[in-house]
Amino acid sequence: MPQKGRLPAEEKIRLVEAYQAGIIGNRAIAREYGIDRSTVSQWVRRYKERGPEGLIPSTHNRKYPAEIKLQAVKDYLSGVGSRRDICTKYDISSAGMLYQWIKRYSGHGDFKQPNSGGAIYMTKGRKTTQEERIEIVSHCIANNKNYGKTIEQHGVSYQQIYDWVRKYEKDGVEGLSDRRGKRKDEASMSEVEKLHAQLKLKEAENLRLQMENDLLKKLEALERGIDID
């Protein structure tokens, strides 16, 4: 019967060592514990790279310098190695993390943080209408949450955009209403206006998903050694 839940590090180490000794195969481990074989392969790789410590969870989230992220992404995109190779080279904890870096780099072009002191992120907030907020959130989502580009385009603060996107993701179009004091009446939308807003935001989400799918196809092609435009 497959066991659910996260396995303790000691059990992972025991299983990997049993696998390496030829006592049990990764298929049997995956079946017995209800996990993917790729997960077992990842445990084995970490054990080979860093020994038993590679399977012991860190007590804190590891931070990677922007320079390491950039070099790892550039190495991968230039064909230096597979995602697994790049993770090994730069001691990156998972291929999934590297993929997130690649996705961010493809949308933003760098790894600058909003609080890095860059002038663009010092833009002050301003009052906006609901129509503007819908337009701004749509732009941000369609551009893979590129806050810097959205700030340049619409002249609002990073914190405003971040809050609006978060509210939209939680409450939908209604989350973009300003219901403070006298502006409460202005927040009301007709059903037709609400439908138009929902369609606009949905189109932005679909565009973002298409961008992600295109990126995945490019990465898969790179892994297979196929050149694509």
Give 131-147 pLDDT, tens digit per residue: 899 999 998 888 877 77
Report if pTM > 0.75: no
Q: Domain containing 133: what range? A: 119-219
Of 92, 8, 77, 79, the C-alpha closest to 45 is 92
Q: For 163-204, what is each residue's pLDDT tens digit?
A: 898 888 888 888 888 665 444 434 466 777 778 888 888 888
Query: How far does Cα 182 stand from its chain's mean position?
Result: 39
Do 77 and 145 sit in the same domain of this protein? no
Do 91 and 22 sit in the same domain of this protein? no
Do 34 and 91 sit in the same domain of this protein? no
Do 84 and 30 sit in the same domain of this protein? no
Do the domain assignments include residue 172? yes
- Contact (CB, 8 A) for 161 and 140: yes
The whole-angstrom separation of Cα 84 and Cα 132 is 43
Do the domain assignments include residue 144? yes
Question: How open is the CA angle 53-66-95, to the nearest 5 degrees?
Answer: 45
Do 162 and 97 sit in the same domain of this protein? no
- Position with higher pLDDT, 222 vs 200: 200
Do 159 and 185 sit in the same domain of this protein? yes
Do 181 and 97 sit in the same domain of this protein? no
Do 215 and 123 sit in the same domain of this protein? yes
The whole-angstrom separation of Cα 150 and Cα 157 is 9
Share of the chain above pLDDT 90, in %: 8
For the chain, how many structural domains are there in total?
3
The whole-angstrom separation of Cα 109 and Cα 134 is 25
Do 203 and 124 sit in the same domain of this protein? yes
Do 203 and 137 sit in the same domain of this protein? yes
Do 189 and 135 sit in the same domain of this protein? yes
Do 203 and 179 sit in the same domain of this protein? yes
